[in-house]
Amino acid sequence: AQKVTQAQTEISVVEKEDVTLDCVYETRDTTYYLFWYKQPPSGELVFLIRRNSFDEQNEISGRYSWNFQKSTSSFNFTITASQVVDSAVYFCALSRINNNDMRFGAGTRLTVKP
Amino acid sequence: DGGITQSPKYLFRKEGQNVTLSCEQNLNHDAMYWYRQDPGQGLRLIYYSQIVNDFQKGDIAEGYSVSREKKESFPLTVTSAQKNPTAFYLCASEGQMNTEAFFGQGTRLTVV
């Protein structure tokens, strides 16, 4: 069975703080994809990153970085120097290769206060 | 601009009525999806379609129906058989499997 757990329901930080959103997954597959999406107040989900299970290199994109650790089945997301515009719900998701079955975590609501 | 459009944004339905949510995309994507979002539960897959005239049930298809007569359109009907239809519904499309999915802005359905 595939499962994604985002244990942090809500996080509140003050602008310019760093914040890490946790994501732990379960799968019996040896190959799979992991995703992060952002859901701003407008409602649509916005794609942030896709990671193939073969690629354990960490990735940095501006203030965003992702730490993928296969040994602990985690794919954590860090925002450095957070900004008010980062306030949103963030979803981690797991997808089987060549399969439409994508599993989402429950989401973490991040609030960045000025 | 290319994108995915859901309408209406808000929808109210009386108990016992069927209601149809619209989803249109002009991205030329083959795959389209419907998800339901409830507080604290993330997104759950209702139906998906990989190609015109074909669709598959997701985890929570009971009480819902879909059609895919055109590549651009994937409407979702919430039937009276759906016991707890009040939720936020998201439509998505995908060009190639396991790549970036594009989402609409959602429809918030409330049963009154």
Contact A63, A81 (CB under 8 A): yes
pLDDT at A19 over 90: yes
Lowest average pLDDT, out of A72-81, A90-99, B58-67, goes to A90-99
Residue A84 pLDDT: 97
What's the gap in Å between the CA of A38 and the closest CA on chain B? Answer: 11
Residue B1 pLDDT: 64
C-alpha separations of B111 from A97, B7, B15, B22 in Å: 37, 17, 6, 17
Only one residue has tokens 């998906």, namely B48
Give B57-69 as a DSSP string. E-TT-TTEEE--S
Q: Which of B43, B98, B102 sits opposite A33 (nearest CB)?
A: B98
Residues of chain B contacting residue A37, judged by C-beta atoms under 8 Å apart: 103
* Chain B contacts to A (CB-CB under 8 A): 31, 33, 35, 40-45, 48, 50, 56, 88, 90, 92, 97-106
Residue A114 pLDDT: 96
Per-residue pLDDT of chain B (112 residues; tens, 9 = 90+): 679 999 999 999 998 899 999 999 999 999 999 999 998 788 999 999 999 999 999 999 999 999 999 999 999 999 988 989 999 999 999 987 778 899 999 999 999 8
Beta strands in B52-100 (DSSP E): 54-57, 64-66, 76-78, 87-94
Q: For the residues A47-70, what does the mean pLDDT come to?
A: 92
Return the percentage of chain A with pLDDT > 90, whole number. Answer: 83
Residue A100 pLDDT: 75
Decide if B42 and A106 are in contact by the 8 Å CB cutoff. Answer: yes
